[in-house]
């Protein structure tokens, strides 16, 4: 059987350890959280976000105004955003807020302590 390849942060990655981690990773809607990193489908490829290369992971809520035949409503999408090298390098989208919250909690548990979880707190402005 051919080695499973993933689209990593710095290019294609693979190997038996990574394939085993992918298979045993816990599923949260469209995201799989393993002990080595996070996996999600991006088009035709499976992205692998390696904990050791990430700086921050957080959830962004995106609201979309929808116009229906009988009125309007707001749809909420939840994006699990990955930051490396000072910029956002990927995100996994879901309509399931609970699944994204649980995925972020497991990432916090499995990732090294150096990985920042959540939105960065801004210092109060001086007068």
CB-CB contact of 94 with 82 (8 Å): no
Give the residue among 17, 19, 22 at the shortest CA–CA distance from 4: 19
* Helix and strand counts by DSSP (H, E) for the chain: 2, 10
Nearest-angstrom CA–CA distance, 34 and 116: 17
Nearest-angstrom CA–CA distance, 25 and 106: 11
* pLDDT in the model for residue 1: 43
Helix (H, G, I), strand (E, B) or coil at 68: strand
Residue located via tokens 């990193």: 37
Nearest-angstrom CA–CA distance, 30 and 14: 20
pLDDT tens digits, 88-108: 999 999 999 999 999 999 999
Is the pLDDT confidence value at 127 over 70? no
Contact partners, residue 4, CB within 8 Å, separation at least 6: 14, 18, 19, 22
* pLDDT in the model for residue 123: 67
Nearest-angstrom CA–CA distance, 49 and 56: 11
Q: Which tokens is 106 given? A: 């497991």
Q: Which of 9-18, 43-52, 70-79 has the lowest mean pLDDT?
A: 70-79
* pLDDT in the model for residue 90: 93
Is the pLDDT confidence value at 79 over 90? yes
Mean pLDDT of 1-12: 81
């Amino acid at each position: 059987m051919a080695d499973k390849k993933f689209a990593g942060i710095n290019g294609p990655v693979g190997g038996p350890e990574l394939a085993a981690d992918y298979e045993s990773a816990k599923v949260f809607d469209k995201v799989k959280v393993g002990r080595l990193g996070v996996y999600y489908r991006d088009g035709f490829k499976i992205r692998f976000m390696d904990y050791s290369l990430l700086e921050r992971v957080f959830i962004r809520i995106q609201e979309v105004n929808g116009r229906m035949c009988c009125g309007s409503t707001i749809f909420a999408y939840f994006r699990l955003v990955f930051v490396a090298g000072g910029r956002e390098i990927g995100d996994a989208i879901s309509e399931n807020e609970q699944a994204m919250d649980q995925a972020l909690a497991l990432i916090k548990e499995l990732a090294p302590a150096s990985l920042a979880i959540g939105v960065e707190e801004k210092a109060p402005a001086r007068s």
